Each structure stands twice: as C-alpha cells, then as structure tokens.
Chain A
C-alpha cells in the first residue's frame, strides 16, 4: 500500500541538537544564525545551493551571524547541527511558485548572451540589479555571479552600493572578476581577498574605491566620480581580458525607492557608465514601469537597446534589522584584520607620531563646497574608526587622493592627544607615512577590535 506522504517526516529529536531536514525540489530551508553562535550544515543527499553556490556533499559548512537560505533543485537532505534562531522550510507547489526559478531563467538568458558574445568576441551582457533597499539585490547578484562561475564564465561583479562592501569594507565601491568557486561561508557571502598564505577557497581580487558614506545620495559628486573610475577600469579589463569579455558584468546597484524618486538618477548614471544593457528590477510592477519608462528610449554606448527585466522579490527577503546588519558589518571588519575560523590573520600594531601621518577627512556635504577632502589632525574622535589607506602620494591633491584606489584599511585603536601618538592596527607591517589615509563616515565605529 502506498500512502502518499508517509515516511517523509523525520521525527524530530527533541534533545539532540543535530537534526535532519528533507527538502523537495524547489523548496528552501531558511535560517538565521546569530553572531556568536554557529551552525554546521551538511548536505547528506541530493543537491543544495546557497546563494547560487553549490554545496559539496557531506562537507561541513559552518555559518555564523548569517541569515540565509539553502535552496534545492533536486531535493536534498540536510543535516543541521547547532543553534539557529529561526528556521523554516519554504515549500512551493512547484518550481514556478518559487521566485528562484526566475533567477535560473534570468541566468539562462544571460548565459545565452554570453555564448553569443564569446563567439563574436564582443562584450557579454552588462547587468544591473536594481530595486528598493533590502529587496534581495545583493543575494541575486551573488546568485547570478555564482551561476556564471559554475559554468566557467569569468564575470566581473561590481558593488555599486556603498552600504555594504563586496570583498571589502562597507563604504567602498569595488569590482572583481569571479572565476573560481565562491565561498559560501564567507562573512560577506562573496569570498576573501589575498593574504600572505594559501586559502582553502580561492581568493578574489577586488579593485576598491573609497566612498566613505552609507548611501550614494550623501555625496553624489563623489559617487558619480568613483562610479566613473570603476567603470573605466572595468571597461579596460573587458577589452584586455578575453576570458572576461564575453562573460560581461553584473552590477549590484543602489536602493531605489518604490516610487522611483530616490536613487533613479544615480542608477541611470551607473547604467550609462557601465553601458548596462540589462536592467533587472526586483520588486513591484510600479517600479518596473518606472524603469521601463526611464530606459526604453535609451541605448547603451554600444548602441544596444536597454532591456528591463522584472523579478519578484523573494518572499524570504528579510526586512532590515539594524542590529543584525551592524553585526554583519562588524564581522566584515573583524575578518579583514583577523581572518576567520578557517584562516587566522596576524595584523600589526604600530605606534605612530601624529606628524608622521597624513589624514584626510571626508568633508560634510554641502552643495557649494566643492572640496570633499580636508586635512585633519588625529584626534580621539577617530578612535575605533577604520581609515582607508589610499594608493596615492601624500603630495597628491585632495582631488587625486579621493579618487585613488584603496590599498587597504587601518584601524585606530587608540589616540593619545597629549603625547601626540596614535596606535594603529594595520594588516601589513611597514611605514604608513607615505600614503594618505582617509577618514570617512561609513562604516561607523561599532567595535573595539583590540578590546
């Protein structure tokens, strides 16, 4: 006798912290692991992916301080060990009911474009992901990037949203080629950057600019300038690197308000600079329409039409929880200096005279004040902030400095104003005096890294 459904429900072990979860195709397991505790996940059978990254069978993946989901296309059995605050299974009647199917379809479409582009030795699709804040743009960017990577494409992914960093600290804008498997355990969900040692997951090489504000609107001029720089570099890489050219670009965009009032113009700037030919709009139809209206009559610099694609927001999208986001940003800063569970890093502590440092501060924005960087004497106000180390000379003008690449970051551990000494944590040993440092407004100092 076949009883449909019987035997599919594992009895929950009440005491043990290890449990098994069975998912049918297109279902998701959603979970949240608070900062400070960790959860170990194994895929016992079937296939599973996290943000588009396929998880290897029977490997132990450790997650901490994340909210995420495990999606399966073939069904899977997961073994979970450890604490998670909230978890649930999202069941769907069929794959179409899960918006993840539209991500697959979108990828398949981009993949077709990449095949054509590679054959014709021209640029693959340039995709911008747009949508309201916290609508799942970054998750989609990760998923599309990972899907491309899995198929052997080498796509350039760009973070155009300074609120969170990609392979770098919050407040930055960055670009990186993704050719190797992404790190599902990474604190930022993207991966890790080079260190002096090996890495069990291939590192990624970002090129980073320092914007230093939380939102693109706070200093539009600087934002536009840096996006221009970023696009210039990306353009150069596309023309030079044949492996990359056909794969194209994926840009994780800034938040656009649902009425299209906030963020649209800066988004249009991104579209223009990166010659975006595919705009993916997550969220309501009204917003999609705004984008269609905005871009329907425009063409890229390569003369292509701009296609606007609508994607539904996943019902698993989490509305912003400020405390949680803060923890995540904090974890990213910590990981930058100290590494993670898989790889411990040893940063250097330096005592430096005030006079041996050149520190610029991002000026508060005012429409009539053109200069955005002003020299700043070290002060106790800087304590626990991170400063960007700019790839420029201290003799360069503020305008050059602000648009320079970021080499990395230092952390201000302590400022002794009486003795005019500043205690700094740097990733690498060596003099800092010949590189200008920039003190931004974002990320804010949440933590005492040496406390």
Chain B
C-alpha cells in the first residue's frame, strides 16, 4: 500500500473516531470520501471494519451506518470487502449493543436483502448467501431468549417490529438511513452540492453495482466470522504482489464476474454499443487469460488491476446510466468513446495474444469502462508520487486531490495538472491487448525479468507499439498522424492516422489549452466576461469595449422611450461587405437618430486608468492638468474622463480636439468584387436589397 493510501486510511480512521452520533452529514461525508478514494477502498474498508469491531458499544451504530451508506451508495468494491467479514462485523457488534441499537441493526439487515430502493439494479445490497447466516444466527439467539421476547412483544410492539417491513428502514430515494426520525432523521441524504435526494450524479452510482466477485470465488476468504485476520494478509491486502498463488481459474472467475456485471448492464441498455463493446472486450480478455500461457507475475498484475478497476468500471458505467435515468427522459448510456479508436490495419506488433481478437477495436476504455484509462492513469500517478519518476499525468488534479478546499475560490490554471506526459496508448490493435495494458502501465514490458508491482514501479510511460517511432511524445505522434501525406491514401491508412489523431483529441488533457481560453487572454470584463490582455493593445481594446458597454447602457433608456423593433436581415451583398466591428453598436435607427447618436457618442470619452508601469503620462500635455481618477459606475472601472490615448500619450479629448480639429475618416470598405475561394462557385450578387443598412461604428 502506498503511503498515499496509508494517509487516506489514517485520516479516515481519525474521522471515524470523531463519529459519535448518527449525524447524517458526517455519515454522508464519510461516504463521499470513500467514494472519492476507491483506489484506496481496501484500506478504507479495513479501517472501517476495525473501527466497528473495536468501537465502544455506543459508537458502533454510527459506524455501521457508515458501512451501510457506503455499500448502498458506492457499492463495489466496498461491498466485496465488507462482504467477506460481514458476519463477524454484524454479530460481534450485535452481541454488545443495547436493545434499541439491535433493533436498528435488524432493520438495517433487512434492507440488505433488497435492492437499493429506486435503483434499476435488482440485485440485493448484499447477497443472500451473506445475509442468511446472520439471520439464522439472530433467529437462534432469539429462540434462546424466546420467553423474554414474547413478553416484550405483547405490550405494544408487534412481532413484526422485530423484522420490520422494508418501508421502515430505508426511505425512498436510496440515500436515507434506517432509524427513527429522532436520532437519525430520514431526511434526504445531503449530497454533494446540495442536490436533491435521488438526483442522479454521474459517477456516483445510486445503485448497487454488479455482483463483483462474490466471496465464494475468492479463495482466501470465506464468509465465516473467523476469516477476518486473514483478510488483511490476502492478495488484496497490501498491494504487493504475492509471488505465487494466482491461478488462472481465480483470475478467470474474477473476470467472469465482471462479465456478468457487464451483461447485466448491457441487458438494461440493449442499445448501448458501449456496454456491448466493453462486454466483448472482457470476453476477449477472458479468452487471453484462459488460452495463453502467461507468466504468474503477469497474471498477478492483471488480477490486481482488474480488481482495482472493477470499481472504476462499475462507477463509470453505472454512474452514467444512473445519471441518465432520472433527470432527462430516456437517454441511454453513451456510446463508448472507446470504439472510435481504430487499429491500424497493419499491426506489426508481435503479441502473445491468440488471433481470436482480430478485427475488433479494443481499448482500455472499452475494456474497463469509459474513463477507465484516465482513471487508471491518475491512480497510477497518485501511487507513484513518491517516486522521482517523470511527472505523472494527473498528479495534482484537484478532482483527485482530497485536500482541495472549496471555501477559497478555486485557483485558476494552477489548479490543473502540469502538462501531462501521457503514457500514450493509441490502441494499436485488438490483438495487442496486453500491449495496451502495458502501455498504460498495467503490465510490465513484454519480457519481464523481475517485475515490480505496479504500485512501486516507476510510472515511466511505456510507449505502446504504434505506427510511430517509439519515444515520440504523443502529441507529436498525433500531429504526424494528422499531417501525414495523403497521396494515394487508402481508407486503412486514414484509419491508422486517425488513431493518433483520435488519441490527441480524446485522451489528452493539456492544461495549456484551457489556459489559452482563460488566463492567457487576460482578466475578464466584469460585465460580460470577455477577456482582455493587459498589454497596450489589450488596454485599448478594453477601453473601446467599456465604451461600448457604456453607450449601450446610455442608449438603452433612450431606446425604451422610442420603442424598438426587429430589423430586416441583411441581404447577401450587404453581408459580404459587412465587417464585424467588435465593440461597435449595430443600430438601425433613422439617419437623424444615428447622427444624433454619433454626436452623443463623442461625449463620454474616457480611458481606463493606466497602470503606472505603462509609462503613460498622467498630465495632459496640452493644458498641463493632471488627469483625475473617477469611478465610472456604468463600466465598473476607474477611468480618466474626457481623455483619449494617442499612441502612448494621453490627452484630454477636448483639448486635443481643439488643438487638432481633425477627425479620422471612417474606415474604407473594400469594394472589390468578391473572389470566391471555396469550391467552384462564384458568390451571388445583384439581389435586390431593402434599404436597410447596418450602421458603421461610431468610434
């Protein structure tokens, strides 16, 4: 387990220690943390199990509710981890708590036999095989104390209260908790962002996920109470690969469980080609595992990754479908992004994979769910942060960063990851499934010597075999792909080149592309959000822009009195001649009005107060008076009124007008006949036009 995971687990343990009541807020927080840290699910599950077992009786119920909330709201892999020791957790707690808590535990147990209410998934929260032994044990206990029970039943509490019907424990909306309103209000579970109960949140499966490996398939575990101590030592226990003991059968069975889950999803969304392709990919993986003779360490790695990724798969797929299920009518699970990655038709990569998967495009995403590869990469990066290896792609992405504090305004680009050096995985071919796993760092290179576990392995991006020279950054590879000479290009070639392109478009996140639309453009206008740089040109543009806002405000009132109407559209001739005058007013009033308006527009000449470092004079060169800083409410800026900039010199507009009396002529429009540049046709001209023109800018 990486120290990262240890940290999360330790924080979780401390938070649990503070948990003394059934505060739904705290329980939901702990659920959210569990959900956001599924890569540390095992560690978190263990901490919680230990806490439940060790907590004093009066603190057990809240902790049990945390577990209940996690399995209902997050599901896999937690359900799996808790399932192993469910009997022990439940019975040992039950033994020491008082009567009231027992009753609530019984109510909770009851809900585990049913699907999560409101969920499309029809499977129970925990499988009946897990719940039944507990019920049997309770039955025996009850039988042993029968006289007592019977007596207490007569006065007021009907027998059925022992096992209340399911309307008691879990309020509809699946985020509620068992318990009477008193100490555990059945209010909507406060979900992230103040959403409403039952509102779908993508990536937040509101349903019990698929029956990921049932305990019976996991050799080291069984459902007997005594097995818990072993659990911590098992193959999932440490993240360290055990040198041996992974049988093809076990792995195959794990994959089989994923297949079952995927089939279930597919049956719910039969038209979802994404689910179909993931299913197909899993079947292919199954076939690889079963029919090729993989070295044990590779099996081990596949197994560990498959286990970890099960969570991602389920979340990615079910999360989406659950998000779609309520808000908006009827959308299906989106088509997988995966399928559009096309293998080059000429794959030269030798591969241990049998030829079974010849033409089917398979990617990590198709294999493990939409976003799985990205998730995997981020997981990998968080695991490898201790290493001095290349900066992992998503280290520091706040999504994964639990410390992010939302009380302070999110930082701009800094909040995003540094330019990722993506381990590129343009799925070169279905037949190199393992290459893909390798490329994503899931598997060691093809001829492993002594392979370290992925958690310890330096996250060196292994370039996948591809049509590009290895070692090329992915972005360059994709550029090459994009600009490949096209002479005599066949459809297959273009498929190949589109693979690199596809990768560049879909699988890369480049913070600089975001910055290009935000910070690089300068600060935004407070009124409309348009950004202006702080250099001289930017300042000039911003002044014109603010002037535009100012005039619009001014003229709006005047227009209201006059009454406004829609203008006719321009015709083609005018459209061809029109030039977008940014920050000019398009206004089709009468000649007099526009004449008046342009006179008016001479009025409010001002510039934004320049930065002292700009070197702009603060005294008018003509009248030698200092420019006055004025707050202009309409533009929400400090300005110098009656001021214009000529080059880098500021003047009072009135002073300068008097001194020069020259006015700039309006920009000359091009009168050339348009020469068509596209296609074979000529621009149409000569259509009759109504006498409506767009006024040219005033300024």
Contact = CB atoms under 8 A, between A and B. Distances in A.
A314 interface: yes
A309 interface: yes
Contact of B193 (A21, A308, A311, A313): A21
Interface string B422-458: 0000000000000000000000000000000000000
Interface string A93-123: 1111101011011111101000000000001
B566 A243 contact: no
Contacts of A283: 335
A235 B681 contact: yes
Contacts of B675: 236, 239-240
B374 A97 contact: yes
A194 B502 contact: no
B591 interface: no
A86 B517 contact: no
B15 A19 contact: no
Given A56-B529, A391-B688, A428 B416 contact: no
A283 B572 CA distance: 35
A234 B674 CA distance: 10
Given A199-B586, A200-B552, A99 B409 contact: no
A351 to B, nearest CB: 18
Contacts of A197: 555-556, 559-560, 562, 564, 587, 589
B95 interface: no
B587 A404 contact: no
Given A46-B409, A97-B370, A319-B328, A275 B678 contact: yes
Interface stretch (B254-262, B506-514, B654-662): B506-514
A203 B586 contact: yes
A450 interface: no
> Considering residues B373, B491, B682, which has the most beta carbons from chain A within 10 angstroms of its beta carbon?
B491
A107 B513 contact: yes
A20 B518 CA distance: 23
Contact of A193 (B569, B677, B689): B569
Given A75-B398, A232-B682, 13 more contacts: A4-B37, A5-B402, A30-B327, A47-B412, A58-B526, A88-B200, A89-B195, A93-B312, A94-B378, A106-B505, A202-B586, A233-B683, A243-B580
Contacts of A101: 506, 508-509
B530 interface: yes
A20 B190 CA distance: 13
Q: Which of the four size classes fits the interface of chain B? A: 35 or more
B203 A19 contact: no
Given A101-B509, A235-B678, A96 B374 contact: yes
30 contacts: A8-B32, A9-B194, A58-B526, A73-B518, A75-B404, A75-B415, A86-B199, A90-B323, A93-B316, A95-B399, A95-B416, A107-B517, A109-B504, A177-B578, A180-B580, A196-B565, A198-B556, A198-B585, A205-B570, A205-B580, A207-B572, A233-B684, A236-B682, A275-B678, A301-B678, A309-B505, A318-B331, A344-B560, A344-B564, A391-B688
Nearest to B559: A197
B160 interface: no
A74 B494 contact: no
Interface stretch (A335-343, A362-370, A378-386, A441-449): A335-343
Contacts of B572: 207, 233, 405
B514 A73 contact: yes
A97 B316 contact: yes
A376 interface: no
Interface stretch (B238-246, B300-308, B336-344): B336-344
B375 A93 contact: yes
Interface string A47-70: 100000111111100000001000
A346 B400 contact: no
Contacts of B190: 9, 11-12
B564 A391 contact: no
Nearest to A201: B528
B527 interface: yes
Contacts of B582: 179-180, 202
Lowest 10 CB-CB distances: which A-B pairs, in order?
Answer: A4-B402, A236-B683, A75-B410, A97-B371, A197-B559, A86-B327, A285-B339, A236-B674, A179-B580, A197-B564
Interface stretch (A34-42, A212-220, A286-294, A413-421): A286-294
Nearest to A342: B556
Contacts, number: 520
A273 interface: yes
A6 interface: yes
A239 B193 contact: no
Contacts of B312: 93
A50 to B, nearest CB: 10
B263 interface: no
A57 B509 contact: no
Contact of A93 (B203, B334, B335, B527): B203
B50 interface: no
Contacts of B680: 301
B517 A151 contact: yes
A151 B482 CA distance: 23
Nearest to A179: B580
B371 A24 contact: no
B509 to A, nearest CB: 4
A357 interface: no
B501 to A, nearest CB: 6
Given A77-B406, A92-B202, A232-B684, A345 B569 contact: no
B29 A307 contact: no
Contacts of A326: none
Contact of A91 (B202, B336, B524, B589): B202
Interface string B1-30: 000000010010011000000000100110
B226 interface: no
B576 A237 contact: yes
Interface in A345-400: 345-348, 389, 391-393
B563 interface: yes
> Considering residues B320, B337, B416, B694, which has the most beta carbons from chain A within 10 angstroms of its beta carbon?
B337
A22 interface: yes
B361 A285 contact: yes
A3 B559 CA distance: 56
Contacts of A77: 406, 409-410
B350 interface: no
Contacts of B556: 197-198, 200
B406 A7 contact: yes
A234 to B, nearest CB: 7
A232 B675 CA distance: 10
A200 B494 CA distance: 46
Interface in B378-424: 378, 394, 397-400, 402-413, 415-416
A243 B412 CA distance: 30
A250 interface: no
Nearest to A150: B517
B564 A74 contact: no
B38 to A, nearest CB: 9
A195 B575 contact: no
Contact of A105 (B329, B397, B513, B571): B513
Given A23-B193, A87-B199, A239-B677, A76 B568 contact: no
